[in-house]
Amino acid sequence: MKKLLAVALIATLTGCNDAQVASSNISKASDMFEVDRRIVFYNGITNDYILTISGKCSIESNSHKLAVTCKTGVGQYKKHYLGISDNVTYFVEQLDSIGIDVYHYRVIFKPSIIIPDIDVKL
C-alpha cells in the first residue's frame, strides 16, 4: 500500500498519467534492447520503401539524421546513421507487445557509464 501511495504521489507531483509512465517505460526497455522493432524508411515522392531494419534496436533522432543501434548478439551491436530529407521519412513499429507496469518507474543504473574504462599504456 505504501508503494502505491508513493507512486501516486510522484505521478501527482510530476503530472504523469498511466500512458506517460507506460510510454517512458517502453522507451527505456527499447533503449535496453528488450523490444523488437521494425524501422522503415519511405520515399514520399517515389512511394517506395528505401530501407527496413528489424530487431532489438534503439533509435536517436535529430532534425536531419537518425541513428539506429541494434543488438545482434551477446555483446555485439551494429550502428547505422540514416539521413532524413523533405521527401524521405521513417516510422518505427513495435513488433510485439511487452508487459509494462504503470505503477513503477524504471531507473537504469549502469556503473560502466559513470566509471569509464581507462586504457593504460606502459
* Residue ranges of the chain whose pLDDT lies below 50: 1, 4-9, 13
pLDDT by residue (tens digit) across 66-87? Answer: 999 999 999 899 999 988 888 8
Q: How far is CA 52 from the centre of its chain?
A: 17
Burial 58-88 (b: 16+ CB within 10 A, else e): bbeeeeeebebebbeeeeeeeeeebeeeeeb
pLDDT at 121: 74
Q: Is the pTM of this model over 0.75?
A: no
Half-sphere exposure of 27 (CA within 13 A, CB side): 10
pLDDT at 106: 61
